[in-house]
């Protein structure tokens, strides 16, 4: 593997013995530099939100969110990791390749098949690096965020969020279906969602440009971004940036999309 940096790999499986065996095989491979384990898709998604992985090896049959669904979310990232499925069933192969997986390994995993998958992953990761060797890649824009309530996990789509409000170590996602609490710093979410049309308008608020109906003044002369789900305060330092972003969005014909989606 001359000239290619070792891969940073995330392994995902809800069966501990299977996860341990997969991690053992991956750590023995010369192409792999580091292996991180996750026992469920939600934990995997959280890791991917905060860290960068070259490849993800994941099972399909898992609770809350199966491997195919997780892979579909990962495929929407600005720089998606290479996906390799590791499963006991061959009936999902067509769907897996349709999502963009580079390989589909059946359990028990044979060392030679794992080597083939890693070789493909290394080739893809190396090719990506050669296209922009001196430029940092774009920050992934998470298309959905996991929300836990009552022992259940569900996902809030970014497209359904009108604005975001900081709440300590959490953020509140304001959607037509309600307000959802997610453990994440608003500064980090701003990085993820900036390329998707969300603008930081205040120390404690992000707003989707498509959700802004008009700009208003409050009783003290401050600026508010009015949405169907409430008014969002705009600080003086962000007012000009918001106005320019709204003008550009209007020129692209993007304003009002949030309202049309809701219908």
pLDDT at 216 over 60: yes
Which uninterrupted H or E stretch holds 191?
helix 186-193
Which stretch of 93-107, 130-144, 158-172 has the lowest confidence by average pLDDT?
130-144
125 Cβ contact partners less than 8 Å away, ≥ 6 residues apart? 4, 5, 7, 54, 55, 82
Name the residue among 32, 224, 240 with its Cα closest to residue 118. Answer: 32
The pLDDT of residue 130: 57
Specify the DSSP class assigned to residue 158: G
pLDDT score at 151: 62
Stretch among 6-15, 90-99, 131-140, 248-257 having the lowest mean pLDDT: 131-140
19 close to 11: Cβ distance less than 8 angstroms: yes
> For residue 199, is pLDDT > 50?
yes
Query: For the residues 22-49, what does the mean pLDDT come to?
Result: 93
**34 vs 20: CA distance, rounded Å:** 14
Least trusted range by pLDDT, from 179-183, 247-251, 255-259: 255-259
Packing angle, helices 67-74 and 41-50, rounded to 10:
20
Q: Give the pLDDT confidence score for residue 161 in this predicted structure.
A: 95
Predicted confidence at residue 196, as pLDDT, reads 86
pLDDT tens sequence across 107-156: 999 888 999 999 989 988 888 765 444 444 444 456 777 776 766 666 78
At residue 207, the pLDDT reads 96
For helices 186-193 and 41-50, angle between their N-to-C axes, nearest 10 degrees: 80
pLDDT at 152: 64
User: pTM score, two decimals?
Assistant: 0.51
Q: How far apart are CA 213 and CA 211, in angstroms?
A: 6
Q: What is the pLDDT of residues 37-74, one digit of tens each?
A: 999 888 898 898 888 999 999 999 887 778 888 888 88
Residue identified by tokens 């205040």 is 202
Residue 143, SS3?
coil
Distance CA 225, CA 207 (A): 8
CATH of 156-262, one of 3.50.50.100, 2.40.50.1020, 3.40.50.720, 3.40.50.1400: 2.40.50.1020
Element housing 67 (H / E): helix 67-74
- CA distance linking residue 244 with residue 21, whole number of Å: 53
81: which 2 tokens? Answer: 């990791």
User: In the chain, where are the structural domains located?
Assistant: 7-131, 156-262
Q: Is pLDDT of 174 > 50?
A: yes
Asked whether the domain spanning 156-262 has the same topology as the one spanning 7-131, the reply is no
| Environment class of 162 (CB within 10 Å of its CB; exposed 0-12, middle 13-18, buried 19+) | buried
More confident residue, 24 or 222: 24
Only one residue has tokens 């384990």, namely 37
CATH classification number, 7-131, choose in 3.30.1390.20, 3.40.50.2300, 3.40.50.1100, 3.90.1150.10: 3.40.50.2300
Query: What residues contact residue 233 under an 8 Å CB cut-off, 6+ apart?
Result: 201, 202, 205, 218, 222, 223, 224
34 against 260, higher pLDDT: 34
User: For residue 155, what are its two tokens?
Assistant: 């996902």
Q: Name the residue with higher pLDDT: 152 or 159.
A: 159
- The answer to whether residue 259 scores a pLDDT higher than 70 is no
């Amino acid at each position: 593997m001359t000239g290619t940096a070792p891969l940073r790999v995330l392994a995902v499986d809800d069966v501990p013995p299977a996860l341990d065996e997969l991690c053992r095989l991956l750590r023995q491979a010369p192409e792999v530099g580091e292996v991180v384990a996750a026992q469920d898709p939600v934990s995997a998604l959280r890791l991917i939100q905060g860290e960068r992985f070259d490849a993800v090896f994941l099972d399909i049959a898992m609770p809350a969110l199966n491997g195919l669904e997780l892979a579909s979310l990962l495929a929407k990232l600005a720089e998606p990791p290479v996906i390799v499925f590791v499963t006991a069933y061959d009936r999902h192969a067509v769907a897996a390749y349709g999502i963009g997986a580079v390989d589909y390994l059946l359990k028990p995993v044979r060392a030679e098949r794992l080597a083939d998958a890693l070789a493909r992953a290394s080739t893809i990761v190396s090719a990506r690096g050669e296209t922009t060797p001196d430029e940092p890649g774009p920050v992934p824009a998470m298309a959905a965020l996991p929300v836990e309530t009552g022992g259940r996990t569900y996902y809030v789509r970014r497209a359904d969020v009108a604005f975001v409000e900081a709440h300590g170590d959490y953020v509140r996602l304001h959607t037509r279906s309600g307000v959802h609490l997610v453990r994440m710093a608003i500064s980090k979410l701003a990085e993820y969602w900036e390329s998707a049309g969300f603008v930081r308008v205040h120390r404690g608020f992000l707003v989707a440009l498509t959700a802004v109906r008009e700009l208003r003044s409050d009783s003290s002369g401050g600026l508010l971004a009015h949405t169907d789900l409430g008014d969002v305060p705009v600080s003086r330092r962000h007012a000009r940036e918001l106005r320019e972003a709204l003008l550009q969005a209007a020129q692209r014909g993007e304003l009002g999309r949030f309202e049309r989606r809701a219908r």
